Amino acid sequence: MPSSLHVLIVDDEPLARERLRMLLGKEEGVTVCGEAADGPSAVAAIRKLRPDLVLLDIQMPGLDGFGVLRELDASELPAVVFITAFDQHAVKAFEAHALDYLLKPCKPVRLHDALERARRHAATATSAGHSESDSLTQRLLALLDARDTQSAATSPAHLTRIAVRQGERVTFVRIAVIDWCEASGNYVVLHAGKESHIVRETLGALEEQLPPASFLRISRSVIVQLDRIRELQSLAPGEHVVILQDGRKLPMTRGLREVEEKLKFG
């Protein structure tokens, strides 16, 4: 068993990372070896730091928690405790594939139990050679395969129009005319030229229904139609904006290289 359990925190919400850091600081024999706020950074951190355990948020814009694991080779897959806002019935499947899962907001007792489970796993893996670690890797790979199969079987058709309700009237906005979409609480504002339309929908739910070849989520609150992007601009190290054809600048938190690749091949 490692003298200190080295833990990597992966969550796109600063307050969630702060809470986990605070709770882990109260645990004996636990060292936070790093943090990542998005999928690409998480992949790089796992490869560089080789943590004993990753506390991995499932729901992140762009490359989500499952996407992070798909980016890694089998030999690179770490021990994982999933963090999710899903209800307990939805996450029962994780029990058979990962060390544990935590529901947001994470409770100290549940986090402590997950860490103890990670310690037992590390101790068993050390005494049994690689067999226990190999078994966990195979379980994670099985989870990814199952999700890919389910996604392929249930993937809905993508929207071509979005219904907008205005009093007793319902109008339809073609997605081809939408420049960008902006989250506003439980609503989304569709920006189409000089017009704006409000839709009672969350940005995450809308993102799943838009064709991924045409639209890209560039931050937690903005989705942009790729054809409307004129250029990407760096403001400071790690700080970038998307400039649309009409000159509007939108802050971007998604990885610059990922967006560049999407624009080249999307």
- With bands split at pLDDT 50, 70 and 90, how would you rate the model's confidence at 149? low
- With bands split at pLDDT 50, 70 and 90, how would you rate the model's confidence at 82? confident
pLDDT (average), residues 242-251: 95
d(CA 110, CA 193): 49
- With bands split at pLDDT 50, 70 and 90, how would you rate the model's confidence at 260? confident
Q: Is the pLDDT score of 228 beyond 80?
A: yes
Q: Is the pLDDT score of 11 beyond 80?
A: yes
Q: Which residue has the higher pLDDT, 56 or 66?
A: 56
- Give the model's pLDDT for residue 103: 81
- Give the model's pLDDT for residue 244: 96
Q: Which residue has the higher pLDDT, 232 or 99?
A: 232
Read off the pTM.
0.54
- With bands split at pLDDT 50, 70 and 90, how would you rate the model's confidence at 4? confident
pLDDT tens digits for range 26-53: 999 999 999 999 999 999 999 999 999 9
d(CA 39, CA 63): 5
- Give the model's pLDDT for residue 90: 47
pLDDT tens digits for range 168-213: 788 899 999 999 999 998 899 999 999 999 998 888 889 988 998 8
Chain-wide mean pLDDT for the chain? 84
pLDDT tens digits for range 85-143: 765 544 555 655 667 788 888 899 999 999 998 888 877 766 655 555 566 667 777 77
d(CA 99, CA 263): 37
Q: Percent of the chain at pLDDT above 90? A: 42
- Give the model's pLDDT for residue 47: 95
Give the chain's length.
266
All domains of the chain in start order, with CATH: 5-154 (3.40.50.2300), 161-265 (2.40.50.1020)
Q: Percent of the chain at pLDDT above 70? A: 83
How far out from the chain centre does Cα 122 lie? 26
